[in-house]
Amino acid sequence: MPAESPGWRPSLARSIVLRHDRVRDADLLLMPERAVLLNVEAGHILRLCDGHRTVAEIVAHLAETFPGAPVAEDVPEFLDRVRGEGWVR
């Protein structure tokens, strides 16, 4: 289901853990044998991927939080990319 699909409710893959690293003051995705340092925007998006919110709800929340940011285009593209990596389902 592409990120544009109204019914997709993205969530982190079961083997993935999102943690905040206080030393780096950054979010990390922890997975078997790998860790990914996220930029601020990616951390905000992935924190909302709880399996309950639709992509449209995530976009609406981020548009309200970051007025003027191109979230309607960027968020679905990002979610498709990280789903391809196996980070979300």
Task: Give mean pLDDT, residues 23-34.
Answer: 95
Q: Give the pLDDT score at 5.
A: 73
pLDDT above 70 covers a percentage of the chain that reads 94
Angle ∠(62,32,54) on CA atoms, nearest 5: 25
Task: Give mean pLDDT, residues 53-63.
Answer: 97
What's the pTM?
0.90
Q: Give the pLDDT score at 40.
A: 94
Note whether 20 and 7 are within 8 A (CB). no
Q: Give the C-alpha separation, 38 to 28, whole Å.
A: 6
* Complete domains list, the chain, with CATH: 17-84 (1.10.10.1150)
Task: Give mean pLDDT, residues 43-57.
Answer: 97
Q: Is the pLDDT of residue 13 over 70?
A: yes
